[in-house]
A and B are shown apart, each in its own frame.
Chain A
């Protein structure tokens, strides 16, 4: 059986050429990650699973054998096709801290990240902030406005999170495309500034 290719020159003439660009949407449990991805994605967010194999979670001493178990965890992602050569992917990280093992898989070579913050559960944002700072992944902080939550001033949230003054921060409502758009544009602006700075540094 042969897989057919209709519209492509054969052999060497055709070269792989689509460039995927990855962004990460992080935040605590229920912070609005899936909602945010869905607001921007051209497809309903897709769900896939990653697995972690734990050796010796249950050790049977009598037989001297280790039980090897695998835990899976779901993550959501969405897609935004820029043109036929460029596709943006938005990956939501799993909310719970115990799935930190997946973060490297999700974040390696990510262009940037959005940290969604629920001000009622500020502490849940710390792992994401720490991670992106440690890995030097550019990120912006978006404070999600949930009904009934007291309005926090962004300066206070910044202090509480301990993020540096040059990390862009904004409010958003992840349920609305327009609002989610502004957050992503803020991140893209940040990347433009970084790219300009790099260009200037190489010219000098």
Chain B
């Protein structure tokens, strides 16, 4: 897929404007990793360097010094979810970011009771 031309001042948006948010992904609109979902937690790999990274990737890697979800990182960076996911996928394949366990498993009873306790305590 070819890169989009640079956007003309439409970059960030509040509403449903026409934007070109995928410029910084080289025009890619989907990550090829299926294990990266909005709730997926990421952490920077200890010792990961920022050499050769774009400004957004550096910011993302910094945010991931403590575990953070893709959704929160997107909100923090002001990027649409899809763009954050693609940037993250690249960092994962380069070995700079680690993906927390995301294998969908049936939820266990003890995990449910921990959640119930937490909600009751609100």
CB pair A72–B107 under 8 Å, yes or no, is no
The count of residues in chain B whose C-beta lies closer than 8 Å to any C-beta of chain A is 59
Cβ of B43 to closest chain A Cβ, rounded Å? 6
Question: For the side of the interface on A, what is the size category?
Answer: 35 or more
Query: When A3-B47, A5-B44, A19-B101 are in contact, do A48 and B22 touch as well, CB less than 8 Å?
Result: no
Q: Is A51 on the interface with B (CB-CB < 8 A)? A: yes
Could you list 20 A-B pairs, sorted by A, with CB under 8 Å?
A: A1-B50, A16-B41, A16-B101, A18-B101, A46-B75, A48-B80, A51-B29, A72-B80, A74-B14, A80-B119, A89-B39, A91-B71, A105-B81, A181-B120, A181-B122, A188-B112, A192-B116, A195-B108, A196-B109, A199-B109
Contact among A8, A19, A48, A195 with B112 in the assembled complex (CB-CB below 8 Å): A195
CB pair B80–A51 under 8 Å, yes or no, is yes
- By a CB distance below 8 angstroms, the chain A residues around B67 are 16, 18
CB pair B118–A88 under 8 Å, yes or no, is yes
CB pair B51–A70 under 8 Å, yes or no, is no
Q: Is A21 on the interface with B (CB-CB < 8 A)? A: yes
Query: When A21-B115, A80-B118 are in contact, do A70 and B44 touch as well, CB less than 8 Å?
Result: no
Q: Which residues of A contact B (CB under 8 A)?
A: 1-5, 8, 10-11, 14, 16-22, 40, 46-51, 53, 68-74, 77, 79-83, 86-89, 91, 105-106, 108-109, 111, 177, 181, 184-185, 188-189, 191-192, 195-196, 198-199
Q: Is B62 on the interface with A (CB-CB < 8 A)? A: yes
CB pair B37–A86 under 8 Å, yes or no, is no
CB pair A188–B101 under 8 Å, yes or no, is no
Select from chain B the residue with minimum beta-carbon distance to A50. B81
Select from chain B the residue with minimum beta-carbon distance to A109. B104
Q: Is B19 on the interface with A (CB-CB < 8 A)? A: yes
- The CB with the most chain B CB atoms within 10 A, among A50, A74, A83, is that of A50
CA A4 – CA B39 in complex, angstroms? Answer: 24
CB pair A50–B49 under 8 Å, yes or no, is no
The 5 A-B residue pairs with the shortest CB-CB distance in the complex, in nearest-first order = A16-B100, A46-B75, A20-B39, A5-B46, A82-B118
Q: Is B38 on the interface with A (CB-CB < 8 A)? A: yes
CB pair B19–A72 under 8 Å, yes or no, is yes
CB pair A177–B122 under 8 Å, yes or no, is yes
CB pair B114–A86 under 8 Å, yes or no, is yes
Contact among B13, B61, B101, B106 with A72 in the assembled complex (CB-CB below 8 Å): B13
CA A22 – CA B100 in complex, angstroms? Answer: 14
CB pair B38–A91 under 8 Å, yes or no, is yes
Cβ of B2 to closest chain A Cβ, rounded Å? 11
Given A109-B102, A192-B116: 5 more A-B contacts, CB < 8 Å? A20-B102, A21-B111, A51-B21, A105-B81, A198-B106
CA A51 – CA B47 in complex, angstroms? Answer: 33
CB pair A19–B100 under 8 Å, yes or no, is yes
Cβ of A163 to closest chain B Cβ, rounded Å? 22
Query: When A185-B120, A188-B115 are in contact, do A3 and B80 touch as well, CB less than 8 Å?
Result: no
